[in-house]
Amino acid sequence: MFPRRRKHFGTPADKATYATLHTASLASPYLREGLTPAAAGKASRHLRDLLGTAAIAICDTSGVLAWDGVGGPYESNHRRDARSLAAPTLRTGRTAVLGVHDVACGDPQCPIRTAAVAPIVIEERVVAVLVAYSERTSAALVRATEEVARWVSGQVELAELNKERTRAMEAELRALRAQISPHFIYNALAAIASFVRTDPERARELLLEFADFSRYALRRGGEFTTLADELRNVERYLVLEQARFGDRLTVSLQIAPEVLPVVVPFLVVQPLVENAVRHGLEGTTGVGRITIRARDQINEAEISVEDDGVGSDPEVIRAVLAGESDSDSIGLGNVDARLRQVYGDAYGLVVETQVDAGTKVTFRIPKYSSGVHASP
């Protein structure tokens, strides 16, 4: 609340802690990118600040990933030697302390005379080592080097986890694509088959729609598409469903053309429509009505899918969105999770429903979001 008072905060020890934490926080974003040479290079400066040594190096089995030091004429030699100094620790995973005869060069002025080598361990595997050079190696420095290496391990592990999560998302998307198919393919083909004799021309058209639909749904690449493409696919889907249900399914689309170019996650509307068709027509013999709306809200597009079917218990939907239930509304949970992952928690699905009162699912998409671009 009162940032100005921070100046008078705490003892010198507290301040030292803050300083350390701050330096660490500077390094962590780079480490979260994983142990690439670029990320390691940027992080190494802060890591050296953290240890306060003359130089540090990060090496893995392929060589020196990053070097940061005070400079001086002999630095390149030291840099070259770092790999051989690192080798034993990379093999054994044990911290090593190297003395003057291992490290120092001919120049007595050179501050790089001894080194502490600590392993960076990820999932029980030594992936790299941290080498801290100084004039004299103290027990405290060795200990500090070990701690920093352990902290780096944690950060890199988090990076791996992040990648893992992205991979999981992609896998989920693939699963969703695959999931649309069997359920729907059977019904669509059956509907098309029923027209082959009576109305071959229509059967042909439907078959073409079906081909386009599956090409879109099973396409490779790109996590994002435009709302126009997504809606076009929804329309194909609805044409096929109408062939199956005939007059029982009426659809109304109210789309503001201004939002058609908005970039949306791939297959974000389709699962909601599929849900609506199922809910709108399941358990009734009457007419099901589905309304799809896309409105322009200045910085955002608001998209909603509404049916007048059986509705559901809000508690059930809550469980689905929380991922605790895998009922037939699995599409909802998946779409919700992907929206939140891309745009943040403020952009999840909003579901309005009640038993026997239909269901309306709404979500918003910002017109611009950094890093989100459509691929054709």
Partner 1 sequence: MSSAMSLTGIGLVIVATIGIGLFGLRISRTTSDFYVASRAITPRWNASAISGEYLSAASFLGVAGLVLVNGADMLWFSVGYTVGYLMLLVLVAAPLRRSGAYTLPDFAETRFESAIVRRICSGLVVGIGTLYLLPQLRGAGLTVQTVTGAPPDVGAAVVAIIVVINVAAGGMRSITFVQAFQYWLKLTALATPIFIILIAWRSGDHPVGVLQSLHGAAAEWAEPLSTAGGRDHPLYATYSLLLALCFGTMGLPHVLVRFYTNPDGRAARRTTVVVLALLSLFYLFPPVYAILGRSFAPDLVAGAADTVVLELPSRIFPGTAGDLLGALVAAGAFAAFLSTSSGLTVAIAGVIDQDLLRTRLTRLTGGDYLAVNSFRIAALLAMSVPYVAFRVTGALSLADTVGLAFAVAASTFCPMLVLGIWWRRMSTTGAAAGLIVGGVAASAAALVNVFGAPADGWARALVVQPAAWTMPLAFITVIVVSKLTPNTIPAGTARSMVRLHTPEAVDVDRG
Q: Considering only 89-97, 235-243, 272-280, 305-313, which stretch makes contact with partner 1 by CB under 8 A?
A: 235-243
- Binding status of residue 239 toward partner 1 by CB under 8 A: yes
Residues paired with 118 in a beta bridge: 130
- Nearest residue (CB) to partner 1, 6 versus 8: 6
Interface characters, 332-361, with partner 1 (x: CB under 8 A): --------------x---------------
State the minimum distance, in angstroms, from the CB of residue 280 to partner 1.
15
Q: Contact, 74 vs 110, CB < 8 A? A: yes
Q: Contact, 85 vs 115, CB < 8 A? A: yes
Q: Contact, 288 vs 306, CB < 8 A? A: no
For partner 1, which residue of 147, 170, 258, 326 counts as binding (CB under 8 A)? 258
- Binding status of residue 150 toward partner 1 by CB under 8 A: no
- Nearest residue (CB) to partner 1, 284 versus 375: 375
Helix (H), strand (E) at residue 63? strand 63-69
Q: How far apart are CA 310 and CA 308, in angstroms?
A: 7
Q: What tokens does 68 get?
A: 């940061």
At residue 273, what is the residue type? Answer: V
Burial class (CB in 10 A: 0-12, 13-18, 19+), 95: middle
Q: How far apart are CA 320 and CA 315, in angstroms?
A: 9
State the minimum distance, in angstroms, from the CB of residue 18 to partner 1.
22
- Tell me which residue of 152, 24, 145, 56 sits closest to 94, measured CA to CA: 145
Q: What tokens does 226 get?
A: 């435009």
- Nearest residue (CB) to partner 1, 50 versus 301: 301
State the minimum distance, in angstroms, from the CB of residue 221 to partner 1.
8
State the minimum distance, in angstroms, from the CB of residue 304 to partner 1.
13
- Binding status of residue 229 toward partner 1 by CB under 8 A: yes
Site for partner 1 in 36-75 (CB under 8 A): none
- Nearest residue (CB) to partner 1, 253 versus 355: 253
Site size for partner 1, by CB under 8 A?
Answer: 39
Site for partner 1 in 285-324 (CB under 8 A): 296-300
Q: Considering only 95-103, 111-119, 247-255, 348-356, which stretch makes contact with partner 1 by CB under 8 A?
A: 247-255
State the minimum distance, in angstroms, from the CB of residue 109 to partner 1.
29
Distances (CA, A) of 202 to 12, 191, 195, 317: 82, 11, 7, 38
Q: How far apart are CA 39 and CA 30, in angstroms?
A: 5
- Binding status of residue 158 toward partner 1 by CB under 8 A: no
Q: Which long-range contacts (CB under 8 A, 24 or more apart) does 171-178 make?
A: 172/334, 172/337, 172/338, 173/223, 173/266, 173/267, 173/338, 176/267, 176/271, 176/331, 176/334, 177/217, 177/218, 177/267
Burial class (CB in 10 A: 0-12, 13-18, 19+), 122: middle
Q: What tokens does 159 get?
A: 């990076």
- Binding status of residue 367 toward partner 1 by CB under 8 A: yes
For partner 1, which residue of 25, 252, 284, 354 counts as binding (CB under 8 A)? 252
Q: How far apart are CA 77 and CA 232, in angstroms?
A: 62
- Binding status of residue 24 toward partner 1 by CB under 8 A: no
Site for partner 1 in 174-193 (CB under 8 A): none
For partner 1, which residue of 45, 150, 232, 340 counts as binding (CB under 8 A)? 232
- Binding status of residue 104 toward partner 1 by CB under 8 A: no
State the minimum distance, in angstroms, from the CB of residue 375 to partner 1.
5
Burial class (CB in 10 A: 0-12, 13-18, 19+), 316: middle
- Nearest residue (CB) to partner 1, 67 versus 347: 347
For partner 1, which residue of 97, 169, 255, 319 counts as binding (CB under 8 A)? 255
Which positions lie near partner 1, rule CB under 8 A? 221, 226-229, 231-232, 234-235, 238-239, 250-258, 260-261, 263, 296-300, 346, 364, 367-368, 370-376
